[in-house]
Amino acid sequence: MRKVLVTGGAGFIGSHLCERLLNDGNEVICLDNFFTGSKENILHLLQKPYFELIRHDITMPFFIEVDEIYNLACPASPIHYQYNPIKTIKTSVMGAINMLGLAKRIKARILQASTSEVYGDPAVHPQTENYWGNVNPIGVRSCYDEGKRCAETLFFDYHRQNKVDIKVVRIFNTYGPRMHPNDGRVVSNFIVQALQNKDITIYGSGKQTRSFQYVDDLIEGMIRMMKTGSGITGPVNIGNPIEFTMIELAELVIKLTGSKSKLSFHALPDDDPVQRKPDIRYAQEVLNNWVPDVDLEQGLIKTIDYLKHKIKI
């Protein structure tokens, strides 16, 4: 039985990862400070004998003996990561240093949950892993984007200098059950608004694009990445390459919820990327022909069902 540490394990993605790792027969230690995560996300795991929950902030050192570390701790929605930007960058950078130091000491393999935000507002489309990005270093999104970029730098320096066994995945917009209803990200916002027959808040023209990946496809990609040979470090894009405008997403959500909501247009937040779509050829090559399996409509139906119960409609 492998012992696996998941930082940020009580969050949206982390809770799905903990569940999958337990189902695969691992012992799972979930570490979280509950900034954006919640005990509710992992309530169903707490009674399992091979699951352990530890309240801890990864900006502080942490010692444990494990075989693998998945480093997910970091707020991910713009509202949450901009709430305390200094804390966000500390979480990414000091958290990476603490977890890499731990991995070095105990010789554990470590996977970093990086992000498509490292490409910023990309001038190359779709984004390939060898594109270095177009990121504003001093804007409101920088605490997250530059924090994650610096974390990638640390991962590769610990790998080169200390031979730490690293894996870096760049996650593109992911959605699914256990997204926080007030998390501010577009999928949860639109679904909650549609369920309440409130206006759907489109920022900017609504012609900007994103490519939405259902959480189960991401988890499969992350698990496969952790199992790759030590020659494979990444970074590897993990995302669904089917691109939608925000207006298309809003129309689909309205259709699937049978809502009476109308679209309302609002100012575009600063540095909001115009387009985003992963090139996943490298992922397919190194992750055993991994491809996303769940299309947007199927995934939205499951997410709508979850949020309907969560907000009690």
- Which residues participate in catalysis according to the annotation? 144
| Residue 12 in the binding site for ligand NAD (CB under 6 A) | yes
Lookup: tokens for 3? 């012992």
Lookup: tokens for 186? 């577009």
* Residues 45-64 interacting with ligand NAD (rule: CB under 6 A): 57-59
* Residues 51-110 interacting with ligand UDP (rule: CB under 6 A): 77-78
| Torsion 50-51-56-57 (CA) sign | positive
Which segment (18-26, 74-82, 198-206, 273-281) binds ligand NAD by CB under 6 A?
74-82
| Residue 21 in the binding site for ligand NAD (CB under 6 A) | no
| Residue 16 in the binding site for ligand UDP (CB under 6 A) | no
Q: CA 125: distance to chain centroid?
A: 21
Nearer to ligand NAD, 27 or 183 (CB): 183
Among 71, 83, 105, CA closest to 35: 83
Nearer to ligand UDP, 181 or 269 (CB): 269
Name the strand (E) or helix (H) holding 309.
helix 296-310
Residue type for position 70: Y
| Residue 30 in the binding site for ligand NAD (CB under 6 A) | no
Cis peptide before 273 (omega within 30 of 0): no
Cis peptide before 126 (omega within 30 of 0): yes
Question: What is the closest distance, in whole angstroms, from the C-beta atom of residue 225 to ligand UDP in the complex?
Answer: 21
Question: What is the closest distance, in whole angstroms, from the C-beta atom of residue 73 to ligand NAD in the complex?
Answer: 3
- Site residues for ligand UDP per CB under 6 A: 77-78, 173, 185-186, 189, 201-203, 208, 210, 246, 269, 272
